[in-house]
Structure 1
């Protein structure tokens, strides 16, 4: 007689997935933040130094930005100043790299 025991490991797999996803999102945030800082125009350095990222685990997202009040005018321009995007290109121009980071962490994490 053969006895087969089925174990439910879904909770453990769920924890492993969430842990890998957290690490991946944090790495994506750090990389994207680096790109934004490199692209950011510098006068005093205040704007560049204020760029940071926050990982929203519940939303499974990474947010890159700044709390400097004039940041949007630099990014999008005004009627008197040409736009100097640094956040949008940091996010949009490296999607393949971000996807690879997430896939790698989920496979190997």
Structure 2
């Protein structure tokens, strides 16, 4: 009985920590590196709606501290979930002219 209760409590904690809470995009918090993981859905909606170019996005989001470029067609920003230290990355893709194509969030172990 005691083991079953402990297992139930552990599973409840695990389930609660895996849920994705959402927040509206807030530029000030983004620049400070706070809650990026929770704002990313709202940010991706904004990027898809406004179709900013590469320089506008970098001006808007700030210079990525760990930027990776491939012919200036990819830039990424580190995101961090507060649950179990999982690291997520926002990849933003551009065409050869620097126009926004898409954004995706990827979990990297």
What TM-score, normalized by structure 1, do the two folds share? 0.33
Structure with bigger helix share is 1
Larger radius of gyration: 1
